Amino acid sequence: MLKDYEYKVLHHSIIPIEFYQKYDVKKGLRDLNGVGVLAGLTNISAIHAVDQSGNPIPGILEYRAFNVKDIVATLRKEDRFGFEEITYLILFGSLPNQNELDAFQKTLAQRRKLPENFVRDVILSHPSEDVMNSLSLSILSLASYDGRSTDISIEKVLDQSLDLISIFPLIAIYAYHSHSHYHEFKSLYIHYPSADLTTAENILRLLRPDCSYTDTEAKVLDIALILHMEHGGGNNSTFTTHVVTSSGSDTYATIAAALSSLKGPKHGGANIRAAKMLNDIRENVAYDASDEVLSDYLLKILNKQAFDQKGLIYGIGHAIYTISDPRFEVFKAYVADLAFEKGRIEEFKLYERVEKMAPRLIQKHRKTYKTISPNIDFYSGFVYEMLGIPKELYTPLFAIARIVGWSAHRIEELINMNKIIRPAYESVLPSQKYIDMKDRK
């Protein structure tokens, strides 16, 4: 029966490919040359991938006009954490001075707590292997604890956003513990966060049975969070935030929608797929395999004959960047050091070979004129793995960071747009006369 229904659905859904050109449809809301259709304006971040004449350039990412590479280099030089400072920058538009930063850190620490019995009644009662779904469920449940959940005044939305930024790490990690206890039969422990620690340190503290972590581990995680915080208004989850916000919906529903978008394997979910794909490659191709053998296996992945049979090499390619994703470059600088420290050089070398080989294979195989390069999530799963972070938390870590960007964009949409987002779909089916039941075949 279901097969029958499937046949009908396919038969009545397929639209001839040439129609998209005929009606000038911007597939993926992209122009023919791949540039996104202009859907909004923003002060929050800028992504530069072409020069003024439209020629590709190495990618540049700016948060509130500050180059992300400079931000990370300064934090590294001064050997300090930056997630809270860059959250302040993205939300409020300027760099905090020391007093402003201290006060903001205190605000986040005070908000880093869940409603009474929330862990017991919501998180532990609904264990799921999919921590992204647990996050969505928890965010929607939080609305019931907020007496003004549907208030969309800027003051209230900001208040809700600061709460969500503070508690996302708690929800994600407790949800992981719930899954690991009820589905993997491991001991259950729920640590409280510490008001004296940064977001990155608290994540590791809440995750580990003995709350321990090294300064290097926490600083690498802090950089990973900063690199994932924000990426313009057009990425799939932030655009979802704009779309849902434009209908007048509340913060909880909007963020649940953004989470649902982020988990997709072509977006934030790519980090877990990239790590699983590399494990698959490791199992099927020896570390010392020739380039020819490795290339043949990558071609099998592209031809949907290997790994998840979706035809994608995860962690490679980007909708906007061509020559390079600047976040990838920053990340990679940490991977080599970490791999050396953790004795994972052989794996790192395999990653590196795939990173170099895959873009060329995709270009050739998909016959694309566009230069393709690795994106931020090619190495992020490997980094998390080396930090001992379970794979169920890879995409939630992205969400823990991106909630900052979503919040800023939701507020920007509320302040500026006041117009429901509503693009057009042209019907290509000629009208028919309704048929009486007795006359149907």
Ligand X SMILES: O=C([O-])CC(=O)C(=O)O
Q: Which residues bind ligand X (CB under 6 A)?
A: 231, 235, 319-320
* Residues 6 or more apart whose Cβ sits within 8 Å of residue 87: 104, 108, 165, 229, 404
Q: Which is nearer to ligand X, 82 or 233 (CB)?
A: 233
Catalytic residue among 250, 318, 325, 409: 318
- Confirm or reject binding of residue 315 to ligand ACO (CB under 6 A): yes
Active site residue 308: no
Which does residue 261 bind out of ligand ACO, ligand X, none, counting CB within 5 to 8 angstroms by kind?
Answer: none
Active site residue 377: yes
Out of 186, 366, 416, 420, which residue is the one contacting ligand ACO (CB under 6 A)?
Answer: 366
What CA–CA distance (Å, rounded) separates 171 from 112?
Answer: 10
- Confirm or reject binding of residue 356 to ligand ACO (CB under 6 A): no
What CA–CA distance (Å, rounded) separates 85 from 198?
Answer: 11
- Confirm or reject binding of residue 123 to ligand ACO (CB under 6 A): no
CB of 220 to ligand X, least distance (A): 19
x/- letters, 252..271, toward ligand ACO (CB under 6 A): --------------xxx-x-
What CA–CA distance (Å, rounded) separates 254 from 240?
Answer: 8
x/- letters, 271..310, toward ligand ACO (CB under 6 A): -------------------------------x--------
What CA–CA distance (Å, rounded) separates 163 from 384?
Answer: 25
Helix axes 236-246, 251-262, angle to 10 degrees: 150
Beta bridge partners of 60: 48
Whether the CB-CB separation of 173 and 179 falls below 8 Å is answered with: no
The order of strands in the sheet holding 56-63 is 45-50, 56-63, 66-67
- Confirm or reject binding of residue 115 to ligand ACO (CB under 6 A): no
CB of 334 to ligand ACO, least distance (A): 17
Residue nearest to ligand X (CB): 235
Q: Which is nearer to ligand ACO, 127 or 315 (CB)?
A: 315
- Confirm or reject binding of residue 368 to ligand ACO (CB under 6 A): yes
Catalytic residue among 377, 409, 436, 439: 377
Which does residue 58 bind out of ligand X, ligand ACO, none, counting CB within 5 to 8 angstroms by kind?
Answer: none
Residue 293 CA: distances (Å) to CA of 275, 311, 441:
20, 18, 56
What CA–CA distance (Å, rounded) separates 425 from 434?
Answer: 23
User: What does the block give as tokens for 164?
Assistant: 């969500």
Spacing of C-alpha 59 from chain mean position? 18
What CA–CA distance (Å, rounded) separates 267 from 192?
Answer: 31
Out of 59, 169, 233, 317, which residue is the one contacting ligand ACO (CB under 6 A)?
Answer: 317
Sites for ligand ACO among residues 24-83 (CB under 6 A) = 34
Which does residue 377 bind out of ligand ACO, ligand X, none, counting CB within 5 to 8 angstroms by kind?
Answer: ligand ACO
What CA–CA distance (Å, rounded) separates 292 from 298?
Answer: 10
Which positions are annotated as active-site residues?
A: 318, 377
